[in-house]
Each structure stands twice: as structure tokens, then as C-alpha cells.
């Protein structure tokens, strides 16, 4: 299906299901904490978001008064304090793994690796991330996609969104919304096509792609 046609179908579904954009909630993300952006984006794939909220609460408890401005270096310090990846997963994270493949690394391991390469790259805050030029950002993306089970790029786009870079996290909820807009159960819409349709609809509505993504996510997950 052509992008223009898919965008039009999504736009119709958005207007039918989501109501007035003025009433949508804008996601806040973590505008000053790259540590929380890393944790949320990697921890969120394939789990209920309540699990992510629990991990974020535990991290904030481990870093009282500092978590909302922490960078990769401070995140790495919590692994040192915990002892190792397994201990961090027990005390702050979860035992969730990066994929369903036997022996897949814990998400905690991917979080630590992401923090390490961002620290080595000298990116310590969302503001610094937002200020990168396209070539520098592409280098960071390359490193991110090398993380265990992150090749799809979904967590990368979500990481950027949490840091304040507009975009679409084309996960199963977004893809399902776009698929339902077509009125056909198959073939399943690819994440890239779903993201383009959401971005096109957001442009037509005069809202950011992140805001529309969040509105769809809330509707799909049964939130007000």
C-alpha cells in the first residue's frame, strides 16, 4: 500500500478513535536524564509498561535526588555499587532478557553496554544528544543497533523520543493501530511503514510525531 494511502487511512482512524488533539497528553520523557532514557527504552520492549515503571522507581530510589539528571557515567556507577549485572537486575532491574532465544543476555546487560558506549562517546545528557549533527548521531545509532536484540531500531527511536527528539516508536501497539486502520488483518504492517504513516498523519494534524505516537499508545493500552 502506498504511503499516502496508508497515511490517509491512519488519519481517519486517529480522528475517529482519539478525539481532539488538544486533549491529548504530551509525553514528558526524561529531558535531563540520559540514564533514564537508556533504562526505559531498553527495558520497555516486550513487557508491560508497569514493569518499566517499577525499574525506573527502583533506579530513582538508588539515586535519590539525582536520577533525573543522571548520565551514562552515573548509571554505570549503580552497576559498580550493585556488584555485577545479575545483582543490578535483582536490585534495580528485572530478570527479563533481551529476547526469547535461549541464553539471551539480560536487559540489564544491554543497559550497561549502552551506558558504556555512550559514556565513551562523551554523550552525557539528552541536551548533548539533541545537539549532535546527523553524522555524529549516525555513529551513536550504529553502536546502539549492535546492542543485544536491538537491531530492529525500535528501542533506538524510543530512546531518541525519551530524550526529546520527535519520532515514532513503531512497536506492536503502533503497528496494530496502523494495521487496523487498513481494515485487513494481513499482511502485518512493517514497523518502518507504520512509522511513516504516523509521521504523515501527525504532519497533517499539526502535532509532533511523538505526541501522536503517545496518544495511540495510550488508546491501544486502554488508558484515558
- Same domain for 114 and 11, yes or no, is no
Tell me the average pLDDT across 199-221: 93
d(Cα 21, Cα 105) in Å, to the nearest integer? 40
Domain boundary among 130, 162, 194: 162
Question: Quick one: pLDDT at residue 46?
Answer: 87
Tell me the average pLDDT across 75-98: 96
Domain boundary among 133, 162, 191: 162
- Same domain for 149 and 184, yes or no, is no
- Same domain for 78 and 11, yes or no, is no
152-162, pLDDT tens digit by residue? 999 999 999 99
- Same domain for 44 and 63, yes or no, is yes
- Same domain for 148 and 174, yes or no, is no
* Count of domains observed in the chain: 2
100-139, pLDDT tens digit by residue? 899 999 999 999 999 999 999 999 999 999 999 999 999 9
Domain around 96: 34-162
- Same domain for 115 and 8, yes or no, is no
Report pTM: 0.86
Amino acid at each position: 500500500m502506498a504511503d499516502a494511502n496508508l497515511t490517509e487511512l491512519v488519519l481517519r482512524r486517529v480522528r475517529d478513535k482519539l478525539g481532539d488533539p488538544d486533549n491529548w497528553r504530551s509525553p514528558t520523557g526524561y529531558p535531563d536524564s540520559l540514564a533514564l532514557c537508556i533504562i526505559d527504552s531498553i527495558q520497555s520492549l516486550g513487557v508491560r509498561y508497569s514493569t518499566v515503571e517499577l525499574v525506573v522507581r527502583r533506579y530513582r530510589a538508588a539515586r535519590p535526588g539525582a536520577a533525573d539528571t543522571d548520565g551514562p557515567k552515573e548509571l554505570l556507577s549503580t552497576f559498580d555499587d550493585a556488584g555485577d549485572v545479575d545483582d543490578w537486575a535483582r536490585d534495580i532491574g528485572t530478570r527479563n532478557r533481551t529476547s526469547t532465544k535461549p541464553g539471551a543476555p539480560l536487559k540489564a546487560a544491554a543497559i550497561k553496554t549502552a551506558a558504556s558506549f555512550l559514556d565513551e562517546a562523551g554523550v552525557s545528557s539528552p541536551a548533548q544528544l539533541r545537539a549532535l549533527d546527523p553524522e555524529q548521531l549516525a555513529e551513536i545509532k550504529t553502536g546502539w543497533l549492535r546492542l543485544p536484540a536491538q537491531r530492529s531500531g525500535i528501542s533506538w527511536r524510543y530512546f531518541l523520543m525519551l530524550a526529546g527528539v520527535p519520532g515514532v516508536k513503531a512497536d506492536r501497539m503502533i503497528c496494530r493501530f496502523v494495521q487496523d486502520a487498513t481494515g485487513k488483518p494481513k499482511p502485518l504492517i512493517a514497523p518502518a511503514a507504520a512509522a511513516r504513516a504516523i509521521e504523515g498523519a501527525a504532519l497533517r494534524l499539526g502535532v509532533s510525531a511523538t505526541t501522536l505516537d503517545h496518544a495511540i499508545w495510550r488508546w491501544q493500552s486502554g488508558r484515558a
